[in-house]
A and B are shown apart, each in its own frame.
Chain A
Amino acid sequence: MTTQIAPAPIPKFDEADSGRKLAIICSKGNLDMAYPGLVLANAALGEGLEVHLFFTFWGFDMISKKHMAHLKFTPLGNTATHMPQGLGGVPGMTSMATSMMRRQIASIGVPGVPEFLEQITDAGGHLWACQMSADMMHLHKEDLYDRVEGIINASDFIEMTAGAQLLFI
């Protein structure tokens, strides 16, 4: 008796996510808080989603030419470092913790912030800067990473991301 071997299933790559959009609001300028938005944006792009990142308040450091390559990490106020809190205030601790975190990130093949933004935009992601933050900090388009598409206000962003799933980080 012969057994009939079934044809292999074919993955449905193009069906599931058609038209799905993700909007991520990046409001933090700490090194550790920059990554969740970048990693998720990158993953969503790899799944075929339309992705918009909106940088606001401290998140402006992620796209400012001056700071984007120099974000820092502090153990202060973060109990998950499992260090005595007093140590976080010791002079030099921020730069030590920052370089340690940078090494850990690089060791798993994850790029620094500027290179990560380059990868995200190469993959079709859109970067937007917040008008109010730019006004507050007296920053202009030329102060920002070249691939930022524009400085837009909150209403523009809401309008542009109609129907999108939204993450605030």
Chain B
Amino acid sequence: MPLASINGNQVHVDEEGFLTEYGEWTEPLAQVLAAQIGVELTEAHWKAIRFLRSDYREHGETATIRRVSTVGGIATKELFELFPKKPGKKMAYIAGLPKPRGCV
């Protein structure tokens, strides 16, 4: 995966710009990633992002919208408000994780 720079940080990303190294993500970097896709992070956003990070660490897969809702306890409606249109991919991008693989 190519090395690229995001706001002065050198990180590995895939061809779409998703981070590929779990350990290269930091919270300040997430602020930059979010701003790049027009999301301003509030505490509600952070709750979802932190769930994605810890769930990935434990299970090795990016949580789907359904999993963030049923396991992470954030309602589907709220996720669509926090990360409009494409919550699954937007959350994964900001959390520095691959796109969710699961269909549901």
Q: A9 — which chain B residues lie within 8 A by C-beta?
A: 4, 13, 15-17
Q: Is the CB of A7 within 8 A of B4?
A: yes
Determine the chain B residues whose CB is within 8 A of the CB of A156 once the complex forms.
Answer: none
Q: How many A-B residue pairs have CB under 8 A?
A: 78
Of the stretches A38-46, A79-87, A93-101, A136-144, the one at the interface is A38-46
Q: Chain B interface mostly helix, strand, loop or mixed?
A: mixed
Could you say which residues of chain A place their CB within 8 Å of the CB of B3? 5
Cβ-defined contact, B104 with A42, below 8 A: yes
B36 touches A122 (CB 8 A): no
Query: How many positions in chain B have a CB within 8 Å of any CB in the partner chain?
Result: 35
In the complex the two chains form, what is the Cα distance from A10 to B7 in whole Å? 12
Q: Is the CB of B5 within 8 A of A5?
A: yes
- Residues B16 and A5 in contact, CB atoms below 8 Å apart: no
Task: Name the prevailing secondary structure of the A interface residues.
Answer: loop
Residues of chain A contacted by B80 (CB below 8 angstroms):
122-124
Distance, CA A11 to CA B19, complexed state (A): 11
Q: A8-B11, A11-B37 are in contact. Are A119 and B66 (CB under 8 A)?
A: yes
Question: Roughly how many angstroms separate A85 CA and B76 CA in the complex, as a whole number?
Answer: 42
Cβ contact of A119, chosen from B13, B69, B93, cutoff 8 A? B69
Q: Which of A118-135 contact B (CB under 8 A)?
A: 119, 122-124
Q: Render B61-104 as a binary contact track against A, CB cut-off 8 A, 1 for contact.
A: 00001110110000111001000111111100100000000111
Q: A46-B87, A109-B66 are in contact. Are A122 and B76 (CB under 8 A)?
A: yes
Whether B93 pairs with A46 at a CB distance below 8 angstroms is no
Q: Are A6 and B5 in contact (CB under 8 A)?
A: yes
Q: Tell me if A14 and B17 are in contact (CB < 8 A).
A: no
Which of B6, B69, B90, B102 has a CB less than 8 Å from the CB of A7? B6
